[in-house]
């Protein structure tokens, strides 16, 4: 494969992981705050999470749904309550895949400095 093709293929792979549902889910400050709360408090229900934040529970519920679709949190229904927790293993695996893709791009974008 020609170097130009490798660069285009690598660029497409990087664009794919950087324009992921994960990054879109984490680009909102309130969602970062929800993640922080789940790390600090552990498994929590909507009422407990919403009690710590300035938004209405319905807004927090929508943010949690988006975080769930993005694979950041897990949810488990228990009677009338839904509990949420950070999906740490899945999140770490996705971040490691992103790092692997970016590591493939580094030699193409930032070759070693040969002036030394």
Which CATH number goes with the domain that contains 40?
1.10.10.10
When the pLDDT of each residue in the chain is averaged and rounded to a whole number, the result is 88
Q: Is residue 61 included in any domain, yes or no?
A: yes
Give me the domain span that covers residue 82. Answer: 3-108
| pLDDT the model gives residue 111 | 66
- Asked, for residue 115, whether it belongs to a domain, the answer is no
Total-model pTM: 0.79
Residue 113 in any domain: the answer is no
Residue 116 lies in a domain: no
Q: Nearest to residue 28, comparing CAs of 74, 77, 70, 89?
A: 70
N- to C-terminal Cα separation, the chain: 30
Q: What is the pLDDT of residue 98?
A: 86
Quick one: tokens of 33? 């705050």
pLDDT digits (tens, 9 = 90+) for 10-54: 888 878 777 678 888 999 999 999 999 999 999 999 999 999 999
The residue with greater pLDDT, 89 or 4, is 89
- Per-residue confidence band for 114, with pLDDT thresholds at 50, 70 and 90: low
């Amino acid at each position: 494969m020609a170097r130009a093709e490798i660069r285009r293929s690598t660029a497409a792979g990087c664009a794919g992981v950087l324009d992921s549902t994960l990054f879109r889910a984490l680009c909102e400050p309130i969602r970062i705050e929800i993640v922080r709360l789940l790390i600090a408090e552990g498994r929590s229900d909507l009422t407990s999470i919403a009690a710590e934040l300035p938004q209405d529970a319905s807004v927090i519920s929508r943010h949690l749904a988006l975080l769930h679709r993005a694979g950041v949190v897990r949810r488990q229904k228990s009677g009338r309550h839904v509990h949420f927790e950070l999906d740490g293993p899945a999140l770490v695996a996705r971040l490691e895949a992103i790092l692997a893709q970016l590591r493939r791009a580094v030699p193409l974008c930032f070759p070693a400095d040969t002036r030394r």
